[in-house]
Amino acid sequence: MASNIALVLLSIFALSINAGPIESPQDSNIFLNDMRFVDSEDRSAIESERARWTNGIVPYYISTSFTSQERAVLEKGLQMISSSTCITFRPATTSDQQSYTYVSIVRGSKNSGCYSYVGRVKRGKQELNIEPDSYCMQPGPVAHEMLHAIGLHHEMSRPDRDDYIVILEENMQSGVISNWKKEPNSLTYGTKYDYMSIMHYGSRAGSKNGKPVMVNKERKEVRMGQLEKLSDSDIVKIKSMYKCN
């Protein structure tokens, strides 16, 4: 019994070393530049049916470069989505690789961070990058990136965001403002703006001076973003997008 407990503790310890430091969405570089687009034409097609995964089934492939502990973290990230929505994940088959799109989870190089395409974009391999030994290697960031592939944008890119947040560009690092571009066509499915969406940046993301880059309409700093779970409105959006509510 005691040795079982020791073994469990040891494996948790090993996992936490392997997963790297746990960081909160308040850390300034989390999720900056984490979206990829094929070209401007595909960008406008993200809201269309053809950018959805048929029947909400996402075939995926995990690079063999990941260690088994890292693989377990990735699988946990996928479970965060499948346990609360109608999205299912299945390992890509040879025929997917020839005739359908699948998400290929790549073990990124140093400082590559994490990033994903938005929606289902093209035939064959669609890369989702996870840098090991970084904040990316936690279930929450893995879920965030996979939610981009499923079709979600960042919450603070919603067309109605100016009714809920004020962006303080004076506190922002140079060159990062494009991360706050509004997506005029992104669908909100009747949900209320959600500061606690897993797709919301932390209030100090991209800060150059430790001060917030986003505050609420009353110009107060409030908690924004989290990595623990899909919020209720994240779930509603996915269920609406995939017509399974």
Give the catalytic positions in this structure. 145
Instruction: Give the closest residue to 133 by CA, choosing from 111, 155, 165, 100.
Output: 111
- 135 binds Zn ion, rule: CB under 5 A: no
Distances (CA, A) of 24 to 67, 106, 130, 198: 24, 23, 17, 12
Judged by beta carbon, residue 96 or residue 116, the one nearer Zn ion is: 116
**Applying CB under 5 A, which of residues 19, 26, 31, 238 lies at the interface with Zn ion?**
31
Find out whether 153 is annotated in a ligand binding site.
Answer: no
Cα–Cα distance measured from residue 121 to residue 149, given in angstroms and rounded to the nearest whole number: 8
User: Interacting stretch for Zn ion, rule CB under 5 A, among 28-36, 68-76, 104-112, 178-186?
Assistant: 28-36
Site string for Zn ion, 32-71 (x = CB under 5 A): --x-------------------------------------
Binding of residue 242 to Zn ion (CB under 5 A)? no
Residue among 175, 168, 173 nearest 224 (CA)? 168
Report which of 117, 98, 106, 43 is spatially closest to residue 74, judged by C-alpha positions. Answer: 106
Contact between 89 and Zn ion by CB under 5 A: the answer reads: no
CB 171, CB 214: distance < 8 Å: no
Give which of 127, 134, 138 is closest to 113, Cα–Cα: 134
Question: Does 200 show up as a binding residue in the annotation?
Answer: no
Task: State in angstroms the smallest separation of the CB of 128 from Zn ion.
Answer: 11
* Positions that interact with Zn ion (CB under 5 A): 31, 34
Which residues fall in the annotated binding site for Zn(2+)?
Answer: 144, 148, 154
